[in-house]
A and B are shown apart, each in its own frame.
Chain A
Amino acid sequence: MTSQTLAGHRLPTEIDTIAELEAYLNAALRLEHATIPPYLTALYSLHPGANSDARHLIRVVAVEEMLHLTLVANVMNAAGLRVDLTADDFVPRYPAHLPSGEIDFLVSVQPFSPAAVTTFLNIERPVKAPSESRRLLRRPDLGAGTVLAASPVDPSRCFYSIGEFYEEINRGLRHLHDRYRAEGRELFTGDVARQVTGEYFYSGGGEIVAVHDLDTAIEALTLIIEQGEGLGGGIYDGEGELSHYYRFQQLQLGSYYQRGDVPGRPSGPALDVDFDAVHPVAIDVALTDYPDGSPVREAAQAFNRTYADFLAHLTAAYDGEPQKLLEAVPWMFRLRDDIERLIRNPFPGRPGVHASPVFTRASEEWS
């Protein structure tokens, strides 16, 4: 670990080499992806025809998480790094921990419920470390489960918030960029043809940023931070969109935010939420929870394979074939259809509970 001086303070900068940058960006990919299974499961647990407001709201956030994943991939490609979503540890084992000042919650794959909304708020909550010294915290041993946004170079430490985690990457990018320049080298030498542009990723909430230098890299990561948490303190991000935290808060408060509102007091139209119009899908299921040979186990395995294939397909799109991202739309339909095959069926031996998708990598489950 090295340090740099900024405004008289000694600041920790963990990223001093391209390998450390890669470790951070790989962690960012895992982090961005980790919210997608919980959001998709909550989304598809909604009864068709009910909860229209919640459906639109969660769907858009899920799509924006896809955008974030893509933006991280663009930064990696610009820095000549390879993106791989097929690594064995890529999909977290749920329940998983996200970083925060207090280690107070776990992220689960669960049905839409007040608890799920609380979790979503926890994931997206806008928190800035109270001081420089508290950005990186000592992480107690949490036992099993994935920890997201722990420092990838020092697993005993985690960041105060996702915003601070990205802030660390931004600092590292600046630091590496300056050092490379001083050495007569360039950090951003990736082939621009590998970038995912608006042509391939469109209508995902916010404009995609094609990354080719430090400024565009910072722009891409700043978009992630602002859309997620509104780290700047406002409820709207730089593009005038409501940040995820406040979007989810509307589900708790039962009305929409509109321009001019202050946090916690949305004054827009009413938003109807019906927590009863939900399939009661099982929480954090493993494949082995389903009885051998049962139709739901087969359906869960089928979904699992579709999901693994989907990640492999995305990897190809982020690894030099951006046009493959256009096929993500039909893929998402296939994922939805596979999930629906599960969530509308009872869970064997658990009265009142429905089957639920398993996102854990198939190879892990089968081994």
Chain B
Amino acid sequence: MIFPEGAAARTDATDVAGRVYDVVIVGAGISGAIIADRLSREGRSVLVLEAAPADDLTIAGYEGYLNRFYGTAMKDNQAPYPVLPPVPMPRSTDARPLTPGGGPNTGGYLVQNGPHSTDTTYTRVLGGTTMHWEAKILRMLPEDFELADRYGHGLKWPLGYDELEPLYREAEREIGVSADVEDQRYLGLHYPPDYVFPMRGLPASFLDRTVAEGVDGTQVRVSDDEEIEIRVRPFPQGRNGIPNPAYDAGRGFVPVGAVSTHQVEEGGRCQGNNNCVPICPVQAKYHAGKTLARTLHRDVDLLAQAVAYRVHTDDETGRVTRIEYRRYPDPNSTAYETGFAQGRAYVLATNAIENARLMLASGLQDRADLIGRNLMDHAYLLTWARLPEIAGTMRGTNCTSGITDLRGGRFRKGRASFSVDIHNDGWGWATGAPVTDLVRIVEENQHGFELRRSLVDQVSTQLLLAHMIEVLPDRDNRVTVDPRYRDELGNMRPVISFKVPDYTMRGAAFARELSRDLFGKLHAQDFTSYDPAEYGYVEFGGEGYRILGGNHLAGTHVMGTSPGVSVVDDHQRSWEHENLYLVGGGSMPTIGTANTTLTSTALCLRTAEHLIQELRRQDRPLTLATIGAR
């Protein structure tokens, strides 16, 4: 799929000012791309406002990211993307520990107000955070939608698994998910009888198999009356593998390959490059550009370098009248011009933090005072150990398998569930391996062949388990804005207040103990240690832990059944503003232990369908009263 020639330059502010679109979408990430795609398929006109430049519509632009990544010493998840003054991004390297009473950390784009400091990031580039996601793509469990009723926790969902199931399948088609359905039937996850994923599951890594040999069949006592048997199970992946010929009743599946390459065969397959995060060198990993490229061949305008500044509403009706944006012609300068975009309906599709930030910065609030509240992100607890024998670490996709049996169960009455990722990229996340290993080995005065040999030997025995722990909605975990903190375009920056809930910490403590047991079974030497001087350090029950952010942002405009308990309805339509949709993870009332992308994509597919019906309804000529006529 190729972006049409000149697509990035096709629309300018003058064109936008002279047009009322069917729908104006803020943000060209996966949510915006999906909605633009579905609406434009119906012949609807769409404007997508994107904060970042759109030069990267070309393959040269994508390769520019790659080259920046290759050339950067600090390979964090924003490493490929340019630092531009008008569109600052949160970066994990900006995170700092906070001292009580010491005031917020304002050093990064996110203002960290505490009490806990997070290393939450999202990518403000075309394609959004799918440009740096890991593409591990799980469905939420049926019980995740019923947390409130079953276990008495969290906010209520207005929808259940069965309503989302067909949409999950549609999202899996859009993203081109690789998985074997027989691996993914557990804890109540169900599919139609003949369902297969678009592509076959990726092969388990040697490391996965090593771990499986040691831990499969282990009985874990999760509470007094509950024991769960665990095993290593592959994760569904949003990346190209082998298309399943049985997909779509035997019609098969055609994967989308590298976007913007001319005449290249489609479907570049995962080569196991091991840098899925931050960027796949061959675009085997799904990113929103794959969906977006298709839309720009239709009646979809893309206005890049246009940062939404304010949502304007009509005081009487509450309807959104226009989006005010600040457009910077030069990415290296913060000089801007103000413009306005108008549509019949508006979709805020940035992410949970930016959606809330924009609403609050626009002075908009809901009657239940929920905008920005209930900020959620999975809490990651890392544990790491050295295996007794070389296990092929650093080979393959970042994360191919894990332990998912503890995602559900009655124990959730008292403690957070979690899923365990086996990381094929060694201790990198925890310790900065292999760079830190290299430095250590050099300091030991090894060189030449010896140095290379020790580095390989040491790195290829590294095992890192990442426990992705559920976080419940909490009113006090929130995004706010403060006129004192603005970015260089004058936009108010997000101020984050976050505390890891005790429910989550009980899960973390359990996860820490479990990893000790598992390392024991693998005869692996535990090297886990948490430095109190580092950000993310949390004391709980007399022990110290380090909780990192998963960047699965959710909860700041939760959906529900009434305006008294929620910001949007089950179509992600704002209760207060009839023609405004707040979409993405922010609408999710709970997140369970699934990375949020698949569920928010499914929700966006639902929103798109609703919008199509809504626009059709509005277009239908009014039937005049005919009583007495004729």
Are B63 and A202 closer than 8 Å at their CB atoms?
Answer: no
From A170-178, A203-211, A299-307, give the one contacting chain B: A203-211
Q: Any chain B CB within 8 A of the CB of A223?
A: no
Q: Any chain A CB within 8 A of the CB of B268?
A: yes
Q: Any chain A CB within 8 A of the CB of B67?
A: yes
Bound CA–CA A247/B262 (angstroms): 10
Bound CA–CA A204/B268 (angstroms): 8
14 additional A-B pairs beyond A256-B263, A268-B5, A329-B272, beta carbons within 8 Å, are: A49-B63, A49-B67, A52-B59, A53-B59, A57-B262, A60-B264, A60-B265, A198-B245, A199-B242, A202-B243, A203-B255, A203-B265, A203-B269, A329-B269
Interface code B257-278, partner A: CB below 8 Å = 1, 0 otherwise? 1000111111111011000000
Q: Any chain B CB within 8 A of the CB of A278?
A: no
Interface code A200-221, partner B: CB below 8 Å = 1, 0 otherwise? 0011111000000000000000
Q: Any chain B CB within 8 A of the CB of A73?
A: no
Residue B261 contacts which of A56, A199, A202 (CB distance < 8 angstroms)?
A56
Bound CA–CA A39/B521 (angstroms): 50
B interface list, Cβ under 8 A from A: 5, 59-60, 63, 67, 240, 242-243, 245, 255, 257, 261-269, 271-272
Are A52 and B271 closer than 8 Å at their CB atoms?
Answer: no
Q: Say whether, besides A198-B245, A203-B269, A330-B272, A60 and B63 are in contact (CB < 8 Å).
A: no
Bound CA–CA A257/B265 (angstroms): 15
Question: Quick one: closest A residue to B63, CB to CB?
Answer: A52
Bound CA–CA A172/B337 (angstroms): 71
Are B242 and A268 closer than 8 Å at their CB atoms?
Answer: no
Bound CA–CA A329/B268 (angstroms): 11
Q: Any chain B CB within 8 A of the CB of A269?
A: yes
Q: Any chain B CB within 8 A of the CB of A333?
A: yes
Bound CA–CA A362/B63 (angstroms): 36
Are B263 and A202 closer than 8 Å at their CB atoms?
Answer: no
Sampled A-B contacts (22; CB under 8 Å): A49-B67, A52-B63, A53-B59, A56-B59, A56-B264, A57-B263, A63-B265, A64-B265, A198-B243, A198-B245, A202-B269, A203-B240, A203-B255, A203-B257, A203-B268, A203-B269, A204-B265, A242-B263, A247-B263, A256-B262, A257-B263, A329-B272
Question: Quick one: closest B residue to A57, CB to CB?
Answer: B263
Bound CA–CA A268/B260 (angstroms): 13
Q: Any chain B CB within 8 A of the CB of A298?
A: no
Min CB gap A2→B, angstroms? 40
**A167 cross-chain contacts in B, Cβ below 8 A:** none
The 5 A-B pairs of least Cβ separation, nearest first, read A205-B265, A203-B267, A49-B67, A203-B269, A56-B261
Q: Say whether, besides A56-B59, A198-B243, A198-B245, A206 and B265 are in contact (CB < 8 Å).
A: yes
**B265 cross-chain contacts in A, Cβ below 8 A:** 60, 63-64, 203-206, 241
Bound CA–CA A60/B262 (angstroms): 10
Residue A56 contacts which of B245, B262, B269 (CB distance < 8 angstroms)?
B262
**B268 cross-chain contacts in A, Cβ below 8 A:** 203
Interface code A318-330, partner B: CB below 8 Å = 1, 0 otherwise? 0000000000011
Min CB gap A337→B, angstroms? 13
Question: Quick one: closest B residue to A268, CB to CB?
Answer: B262
Bound CA–CA A104/B259 (angstroms): 39
**B261 cross-chain contacts in A, Cβ below 8 A:** 56
Interface code A286-317, partner B: CB below 8 Å = 1, 0 otherwise? 00000000000000000000000000000000
Bound CA–CA A269/B6 (angstroms): 10
Question: Quick one: closest B residue to A270, CB to CB?
Answer: B5
**A64 cross-chain contacts in B, Cβ below 8 A:** 265
**A205 cross-chain contacts in B, Cβ below 8 A:** 265
**B60 cross-chain contacts in A, Cβ below 8 A:** 52
A98-149 CB contacts (< 8 Å) to partner B: none
Are B272 and A269 closer than 8 Å at their CB atoms?
Answer: no
Bound CA–CA A56/B259 (angstroms): 12
**A48 cross-chain contacts in B, Cβ below 8 A:** 67
Min CB gap A313→B, angstroms? 17
Residue A269 contacts which of B243, B262, B266 (CB distance < 8 angstroms)?
B262
Are B266 and A53 closer than 8 Å at their CB atoms?
Answer: no
Bound CA–CA A242/B267 (angstroms): 17
Bound CA–CA A64/B60 (angstroms): 23
Interface code A246-270, partner B: CB below 8 Å = 1, 0 otherwise? 0100000000110000000000110
Are B263 and A203 closer than 8 Å at their CB atoms?
Answer: no
Bound CA–CA A168/B245 (angstroms): 33
Bound CA–CA A56/B243 (angstroms): 23
Are B5 and A202 closer than 8 Å at their CB atoms?
Answer: no
Q: Give the number of residue pairs across the A-B interface with Cβ within 8 Å.
A: 57
Residue B267 contacts which of A56, A202, A330 (CB distance < 8 angstroms)?
A202
Bound CA–CA A48/B67 (angstroms): 9
**A329 cross-chain contacts in B, Cβ below 8 A:** 269, 271-272
Bound CA–CA A269/B3 (angstroms): 12
Interface code A78-92, partner B: CB below 8 Å = 1, 0 otherwise? 000000000000000
Interface code A50-74, partner B: CB below 8 Å = 1, 0 otherwise? 0011001100100110000000000
Bound CA–CA A333/B396 (angstroms): 13
Bound CA–CA A49/B265 (angstroms): 21
Bound CA–CA A183/B440 (angstroms): 75
**A53 cross-chain contacts in B, Cβ below 8 A:** 59, 262
Are B63 and A333 closer than 8 Å at their CB atoms?
Answer: no
Question: Quick one: closest A residue to B269, CB to CB?
Answer: A203
Bound CA–CA A57/B63 (angstroms): 15
Min CB gap A247→B, angstroms? 6
Bound CA–CA A330/B264 (angstroms): 20
Question: Quick one: closest B residue to A64, CB to CB?
Answer: B265
Min CB gap B509→A, angstroms? 40
Min CB gap A98→B, angstroms? 23
Question: Quick one: closest B residue to A333, CB to CB?
Answer: B271
Min CB gap A135→B, angstroms? 30
Determine which residue in B257, B265, B266 has the highest number of CB atoms from chain A within 10 A of its CB, and name it: B265
Interface code A218-255, partner B: CB below 8 Å = 1, 0 otherwise? 00000000000000000000000110000100000000
Bound CA–CA A53/B265 (angstroms): 14
Are A269 and B5 closer than 8 Å at their CB atoms?
Answer: yes
Min CB gap A271→B, angstroms? 8
Min CB gap A364→B, angstroms? 30
Residue A60 contacts which of B245, B263, B271 (CB distance < 8 angstroms)?
B263
Min CB gap A197→B, angstroms? 9
Min CB gap B279→A, angstroms? 15
Min CB gap A245→B, angstroms? 13
Bound CA–CA A247/B242 (angstroms): 27
Bound CA–CA A202/B257 (angstroms): 12
Bound CA–CA A204/B265 (angstroms): 7
Question: Quick one: closest B residue to A272, CB to CB?
Answer: B60
Are A202 and B262 closer than 8 Å at their CB atoms?
Answer: no
Bound CA–CA A287/B59 (angstroms): 37
Min CB gap B169→A, angstroms? 22
A318-357 CB contacts (< 8 Å) to partner B: 329-330, 333
Bound CA–CA A206/B254 (angstroms): 12
**A56 cross-chain contacts in B, Cβ below 8 A:** 59, 261-262, 264
Bound CA–CA A49/B245 (angstroms): 36
Determine which residue in B5, B67, B255, B263 has the highest number of CB atoms from chain A within 10 A of its CB, and name it: B263
Question: Quick one: closest B residue to A202, CB to CB?
Answer: B242
Bound CA–CA A151/B229 (angstroms): 66
Residue B263 contacts which of A49, A63, A206, A241 (CB distance < 8 angstroms)?
A241
**B242 cross-chain contacts in A, Cβ below 8 A:** 198-199, 202
Bound CA–CA A259/B561 (angstroms): 51
Min CB gap B284→A, angstroms? 9
Bound CA–CA A98/B325 (angstroms): 61
Bound CA–CA A71/B438 (angstroms): 45
Min CB gap B615→A, angstroms? 32
**B262 cross-chain contacts in A, Cβ below 8 A:** 53, 56-57, 256, 268-269, 271
Min CB gap A55→B, angstroms? 9
Bound CA–CA A252/B58 (angstroms): 21
A35-57 CB contacts (< 8 Å) to partner B: 48-49, 52-53, 56-57
Bound CA–CA A204/B264 (angstroms): 10
Min CB gap A63→B, angstroms? 7
**A206 cross-chain contacts in B, Cβ below 8 A:** 265
